[in-house]
Chain A
Amino acid sequence: MNIVYHARVIKAVAVRDFKIRITYIPWIMNSLLQPIAWTLILVYAYRSIMGPGSSEALAAHGWAGDPVGFLILGQVLLSLFNALNWRAGMAIQRERWYGTLELILQAPASRIAVLAGSSLFGLVDAGWASFLSALAVIALTGATFNVADPLAAVASILLAAVGALSMGIGLAGLYVLTRSAGPIAVAIQHPTRFFTGSSFPLTILPAVLQYVGYAIPLTYGLEAVRRTMLQGAGLGDVGPLLYRLLLLSIASTMLGVAMVRWAEGVARRNGWLHTF
């Protein structure tokens, strides 16, 4: 009974998010066009700083050849994160904007199920947009991929998505604590782009900055997806990456859920539910 109930809540939240989403057509176009433009900007930036053919400096960091595939995969996963940042991360803030937060919390439904519903929709919504925009860039630039172990590639993509999702939930725990969640959600996209190495090989950065990157689940997902899809790596090669990714994701999810619960308690004691 309980499982069915939770499943219904998850579904209802996801369907609601979908129904609201399709009333914002400009934003849907936006989620398709933005990644295309960003990838193209980086592709042209790479081409015009590297000169004809490949760059030895880039090869020295382990990514010989045309960087297009490298950049596309970076952008796909970054878009996935950005969408989940807005869906899962901002799920509570969004109810606050709609004025429905108190009604949601007044219902006996599990808060985790509600969060999961928003996350699920975010995953699907961002997934198809990222995929289509990646296809568009591939068509425009002619990127090539090298997959030797499809299973490893699929596993990497799935776990990378899990990593992005866990970050969204982790951020939800941060966003409930502040009224400036909107601007922070915007601001956080830029350090994420930088530190996960979505636009360049992370090894370019000095060690101190790399540590920041390796504290982020998405960084491992990105690395694993690129290795399996561009360099033909197998499960054995990316196993350690996926393992760490999973651990970090679990930690981030648990932290986010704990924070959301704690914040709800504080808000109920202090009367901040409608304002906080």
Chain B
Amino acid sequence: MGGYTPSKLQVLRASLSAYARDVLALYSAWGFILVRLSVPVFMVATAWALSKIASPSGLVASLGYVDYVGYVALGFAFFTMLTTTLFEVGERIHREMVQGTLETVLLTPASRLAWLIGGALGSLMISMADVALVTVYYVTLFRGEVHLGGAPYALAGLLLSLAGMTGMGIALAGIVVNLKEPHAFNVMLTPFLMLLSGMMFPVEALPGPVEAVSRLIPVTHGIEVVRSSLLQGEPAIHLLGILALEAIAYTVVGYTVFRLLEARARRLGGLGSF
């Protein structure tokens, strides 16, 4: 019998449709919709409460952001979008492990990368809905102003940091393949990513070394580009270059790490051991 290797496009399509099915199953439960809605609402509401004690001499104001609600709303929306991408890639692999389909996917050599990116694209669609939601809250409830002229730069920043986060996600997938509790890992990582991404405050407020680390995460620069473009109308164009470099570096490193860790899992019999 001749072996059949599906093309990348076929794998991509198949993984996208599998993803859509997962998402539909997930969101048919109204409880999940509740979570999805309540988190952004209360995040923005907290920012609004904090904005009442903001002072003009504060760091946020001195960086040129007059409206703290908008600062957090955008920060949170894009943070969610970027980290969802990161975790979706990892969790998808775990799901396939539980379903016993991971080995099938990994056995088709040409398809690994396409499959992983397929997962990231899927999660992107959901996060887009999140961003739209937060923007709607911000504009309607808080009458926030957005500089639409900066949108192309914001989009560029977003796409570059998405590429970077996908790269990180692939590395994470390698770790997840070796773990039995990927969810705990994600939940644990999220607050630290929040702390380092500058979602609620400028990373300049962090101690020097911590700030340096935070700048290595694509989310941090990504959020900065989005904020400067949409809230100030003065895009931080110089960050786009750095983001592009980070994206390339993370994709290469991520894929290498994934291959190494996957090989380790295979050696230790971690794959399909569920």
Contacts and interface: CB of A to CB of B under 8 A. Distances in A.
A110 interface: no
B31 A180 contact: yes
Q: Is the interface of B mostly helix, strand, loop or mixed?
A: helix
B31 A178 contact: yes
A190 interface: yes
A187 B179 CA distance: 26
Interface stretch (A11-19, A36-44, A99-107, A246-254): A36-44
B50 A49 contact: yes
A49 B55 contact: yes
A204 B52 contact: yes
Contacts of B24: none
A193 B41 CA distance: 12
Interface residues of A, number: 43
A57 B53 contact: yes
Contacts of A193: 42, 46
Interface string A198-225: 0110001100000000000000000000
Contacts of B54: 49-50, 55, 57
B43 to A, nearest CB: 8
Contact of B50 (A26, A29, A30, A46): A46
B40 to A, nearest CB: 9
B29 A26 contact: no
Given A194-B42, A204-B49, A27 B181 contact: yes
B55 A44 contact: no
The binding surface of chain A is classed by DSSP as helix
A52 interface: yes
Contacts, number: 133
A265 B194 CA distance: 45
Contacts of B55: 49-51, 55-57
Interface string B31-44: 11011001101110
B200 interface: yes
A49 B51 contact: yes
A204 B53 contact: yes
A183 B195 contact: no
A166 B205 CA distance: 39
Interface string A174-187: 00001111111011
Contacts of B205: 44, 47-48
Contacts of B51: 49
Contacts of B59: 47-49, 51
A4 interface: no
B60 interface: yes
A46 B181 CA distance: 34
Interface in A64-110: none
Nearest to B33: A183
Contacts of A37: 191-192, 194-195
Contact of A200 (B35, B49, B195): B49
A190 B205 CA distance: 25
A239 interface: no
Nearest to A60: B53
A41 B187 contact: no
B270 interface: no
Nearest to A198: B46
Interface of A: 24, 26-27, 29-30, 33-34, 37-38, 40-42, 44-52, 55-58, 61, 178-184, 186-187, 190-191, 193-194, 199-200, 204-205
